[in-house]
Amino acid sequence: MSARRPEITLLYRDDDVVVAAKPSGLLVHRGWGDDEVVAMTLVRDLVGRHVHPVHRLDRATSGALVFALHPEAARALSAAWEAGAVAKRYVALVRGLAPERGVVDHPVPRAEGGPRVPAVTWFRRLVALDGPYSVVEAEPKTGRLHQIRRHMKHLSHPLIGDVNYGKGDHNRLFRERWGLHRLALHASAIALPHPRTGARLAVSAPPPADLSEPFDRLGVPAFVWDAEPWFDGLGTRGIGVAEANGGEGGLGRLASEPPER
């Protein structure tokens, strides 16, 4: 009996870009493994045309995943990422009582076994749970391999369900008591300049059941999934918008300090 084919849904689509809700356990494309089914081919089949990946999500992470629908859009989106004009919001469950907010500025490898490169993550605690454990909102300012996972481990607050950087006894506890069988990390929202118009495209990704249901059993309030306050905060920082003239330096840079919200 063959394994059930993973399912993927579309959160947004127009003539230039598509945003999909990637489930946990699914690779983005075959260049990162030998999986027969990957997010890129599932999205291609849904839209009926070739798609271009412009960023990555770890296999174990769920959430908003962006593809370009033609080479020109792919170039514009890649330029936006390079310019720091894309913002991403993640929700994570971590061990311990995390600080109320902070910035992790700690180099991590760009690729497995590679040299360390600068990496910065903003975070704030959303909920404190008995244990103690914490639900945090994380906003990576750079896109390094396992960046949020490595940075929270650096703070001694590793993610629950993380088999690489976490603790097996905590992971087992959450599997057995609350039914959490995956990495507790979800890319809940993304904001970027549209590749054609430069206007801000803001897309949120509802949590999948394999994460939202354990969170419900833990008593985590539903507001942690609400990205609207985060989107509102981006508006004051000029994030996810390209200048109308499209000239050199037109893509806004990210601020260097965490916002107060």
Residue 2: phi and psi, rounded to 5, are -80, 155
Distance CA 173, CA 79 (A): 43
* Nearest partner of 85 among 143, 28, 124, 125, judged by Cα: 143
Q: What's the first-to-final CA gap in the chain, in angstroms?
A: 50
Residue 194: phi and psi, rounded to 5, are -60, 135
Distance CA 253, CA 8 (A): 31
Distance CA 189, CA 191 (A): 7
CA distances from 15 to 69, 70, 79, 202 (A): 7, 9, 19, 16
Is the C-alpha dihedral spanning 88, 203, 10, 79 positive or negative? negative
Three-state DSSP class for residue 219? coil
Helix residue ranges per DSSP H, 32-157: 39-47, 71-82, 147-154
Distance CA 45, CA 9 (A): 11
Query: How many CB atoms are closer than 10 A to CB 155?
Result: 17
- Return the active site residues: 58
Kindly state the tokens that stand for 109.
């490898």
